Amino acid sequence: MITIHHLGVSQSDRIVWLMEELGLPYALEWYDRDPATGLAPPEYLALHPAATAPVITDGQTVLTESAVIVEYICHRYADGRLTVRPDQPNYPDYLYWMHFNNNVLGLFFARLALGAAESAHAERIGGFIARRHDRYYGHLDTRLGESEYLAGPELTCADIMVTFNLTSLGRFGGPGIEGLPNVAAYLERIRKRPAYAKAMSIAGPTATRPS
Amino acid sequence: MITIHHLGVSQSDRIVWLMEELGLPYALEWYDRDPATGLAPPEYLALHPAATAPVITDGQTVLTESAVIVEYICHRYADGRLTVRPDQPNYPDYLYWMHFNNNVLGLFFARLALGAAESAHAERIGGFIARRHDRYYGHLDTRLGESEYLAGPELTCADIMVTFNLTSLGRFGGPGIEGLPNVAAYLERIRKRPAYAKAMSIAGPTATRPS
């Protein structure tokens, strides 16, 4: 059985959502961030050399990175459900939206690093980050105006990858989704999915360690 | 036929390398960065809404993102060569190293954004970035001490994804590979591959627009 090592308020809620969509059994191990620093505890860092959430264990296999874990689980345990095969016409869309969040997260971390200092450097780089972010999110909103889900009419892992950014980056000082009507409507559709609602109640950003 | 829209000194040299490894035909369209700003020219930005290098066109299909493009080409035009199937034992390794460079690039952009300002913020965030970077590259060096290539004994797309970072980030003020003996030996192996040498002569960081 797969164990999801869940760090509170982190990208690992994606994996809980995936397992609920697939109806697969899993164990959830809960780890709390250090209340003072917000960092993962030493037990979490010991799981994998890269030590970033999410981490899963499957027997002797230890995996990190959301995109790695969702592909692994769907192909090894669900006959490729929620993925798109290379011979399907929407395969390029699937691949693209699977990778979309890397760029958004990269900009988000760059913005965090830049900080609040007022200087010519901060103004120049901050403007560059904001313009690139607007371009990415504009593209996302356009896509969701023409398609129910990111890779086509059905939910895929690409949606599981992107939704976290849209719902959770704002909690860390990141961008929200103001002015993106198609993205807002998409999130409403996502929130109505029973598997999503159940996953968020178990491991979403406002969930707490089970007593 | 696939057209690679090559931006000088960019991640698009990966795609030229891939095509040379696979022995597939391709057209190369060359775009120069603005000499003053280093940014891509307007014709390049017009290719795709995300406007990041690399971009390929394949008939009406326009694709960006290295990891998307390499998977697309290998599965659509090369029967999955240079990829690893879900039923192969090294599939988790393949997935992990395919995604590795996103984290490294994210840290690199965060470091660029942070800039050179001396402040308590810069010191704290700079230390965080450096520690995380060391952890990633330490993991990489360990892996390359136990395996000829990243996913196992044969070159795969995971190597094509990671090599650019190792050879080229230093040109943009990013980290080098000092103190990583297994990484250095790996790059020597890569550089001896005829397809790599040919690709770098055509589109590597020191190549120039064909006259």
* Single-letter code of the amino acid located at B23: G
Q: Looking at the whole model, is its pTM more than 0.95?
A: no
What is the number of domains present in chain B? 2
A211 is a domain residue: no
**Other CB atoms within 10 Å distance of the CB of residue B131:** 10
Question: Tens digits of per-residue pLDDT, B93-107?
Answer: 999 999 998 888 888
Instruction: With a cut of 90, say whether residue A113 has pLDDT above it.
Output: no
Residues A28 and A99 in one domain: no
Kindly identify which residue of chain B lies nearest to residue A68, measuring between CA atoms: B95
* pLDDT tier, B78 (very low <50, low <70, confident <90, very high otherwise): very high
A209 is a domain residue: no
| pLDDT averaged over every residue in chain A | 92
Distance CA B18, CA B14 (A): 6
Q: Tell me whether residues B68 and A95 touch, CB distance under 8 A.
A: yes
Residue A39: its pLDDT value, please?
A: 84
Residue B141: its pLDDT value, please?
A: 97
Size of interface A-B (CB pairs under 8 A): 123
Kindly identify which residue of chain A lies nearest to residue B57, measuring between CA atoms: A92
Residue A122, chain B, CB below 8 Å: the answer is yes
Query: Residue B180: which CATH number?
Result: 1.20.1050.10
Residues B49 and B98 in one domain: no
Residues A51 and A78 in one domain: yes
Instruction: With a cut of 80, say whether residue B108 has pLDDT above it.
Output: yes
Among B178, B96, B90, B94, smallest CA distance to B133 is for B178
Residues A112 and A149 in one domain: yes
Alpha carbon distance, N-terminus to C-terminus of chain B: 22
> In the β-sheet with A26-31, what is the strand arrangement from edge to edge?
A26-31, A2-7, A55-58, A61-64
Question: Tens digits of per-residue pLDDT, A193-209?
Answer: 999 999 999 998 888 88
Question: Tens digits of per-residue pLDDT, A94-111?
Answer: 999 999 988 888 888 888
Q: Tell me whether residues A113 and B135 touch, CB distance under 8 A.
A: no
B-proximal residues of A, 54-73, CB under 8 Å: 61, 63-65, 67-68, 71-72
User: Which of the pair, B91 or B39, is modelled with greater confidence?
Assistant: B91
Partners of A2 in the β-ladder: A26
Residues B175 and B106 in one domain: yes
Question: Tens digits of per-residue pLDDT, B196-211?
Answer: 999 999 998 888 887 7
Dihedral angle of Cα A187, A191, A192, A194, to the nearest 10 degrees: 140
Distance from CA of A92 to the nearest CA of B (A): 7
Structural domain boundaries, residue B26: 2-82+197-203
A148 is a domain residue: yes
Which ipTM score applies to this complex?
A: 0.91
Question: Tens digits of per-residue pLDDT, B8-63?
Answer: 878 889 999 999 999 999 999 999 888 888 888 999 999 998 878 899 999 999 99
B71 is a domain residue: yes
Residues B162 and B95 in one domain: yes
The three-state secondary structure class of B27 is: strand
B69 is a domain residue: yes
Residues B101 and B58 in one domain: no
Give the residue carrying structure tokens 């970035």: B129
Instruction: With a cut of 90, say whether residue B170 has pLDDT above it.
Output: no
B116 is a domain residue: yes
A-proximal residues of B, 15-54, CB under 8 Å: 49-52
Residue B130, chain A, CB below 8 Å: the answer is no
Kindly identify which residue of chain A lies nearest to residue B101, measuring between CA atoms: A102
Residue B166, chain A, CB below 8 Å: the answer is no
Query: Residue B71: which CATH number?
Result: 3.40.30.10
Question: Tens digits of per-residue pLDDT, B120-167?
Answer: 888 888 888 898 899 999 999 999 999 999 999 999 999 999 999 899
Listed range (A79-93, A144-158, B134-148, B171-185) with the worst mean pLDDT? B171-185
Q: Which of B64, B95, B132, B134 to mutate to test the interface with A (most CBs of A within 10 A)?
A: B95
Distance from CA of B141 to the nearest CA of A (A): 11
Listed range (A17-21, B29-33, B75-79, B183-187) with the worst mean pLDDT? B29-33
User: Which of the pair, B112 or B178, is modelled with greater confidence?
Assistant: B178
Distance from CA of A158 to the nearest CA of B (A): 12
Mean pLDDT of A41-68: 92
Residues A127 and A184 in one domain: yes
B210 is a domain residue: no
Residues B189 and B95 in one domain: yes
A135: nearest CB among B50, B106, B107: B50
Residues B8 and B99 in one domain: no
Residue B11: its pLDDT value, please?
A: 87
What is the DSSP-derived secondary structure letter of residue B41? Answer: P
Residue B86, chain A, CB below 8 Å: the answer is yes
A210 is a domain residue: no
Residues B49 and B111 in one domain: no
Give the residue carrying structure tokens 């030229």: B16
User: Which of the pair, A114 or A183, is modelled with greater confidence?
Assistant: A183
Distance from CA of B211 to the nearest CA of A (A): 33
Residues B103 and B170 in one domain: yes
In Å, what is the CA distance from A6 to each residue of A18, A30, A40?
13, 5, 10
Question: Tens digits of per-residue pLDDT, A27-37?
Answer: 999 998 888 88
Give the residue carrying structure tokens 């998307």: B68
- Pairing type for strands B61-64 and A2-7 reads unpaired
Residue A89: its pLDDT value, please?
A: 95
DSSP characters for chain A?
-EEEEEESSSTTHHHHHHHHHHT--EEEEEEPPPTTT-PPPHHHHTS-SS--S-EEEETTEEEE-HHHHHHHHHHHHSTTTTS--TTSTTHHHHHHHHHHHHHHHHHHHHHHHH-S--SHHHHHHHHHHHHHHHHHHHHHHHHHHH-SBTTBSS--HHHHHHHHHHHHGGGGT----TT-HHHHHHHHHHHTSHHHHHHHHHHSTT-----
| pLDDT averaged over every residue in chain B | 92
Among B20, B2, B35, smallest CA distance to B204 is for B20
Residue A8: its pLDDT value, please?
A: 82
Residue B118: its pLDDT value, please?
A: 74
Instruction: With a cut of 90, say whether residue A169 has pLDDT above it.
Output: no
Name the helix (H) or strand (E) containing B149: none
Distance from CA of B210 to the nearest CA of A (A): 30
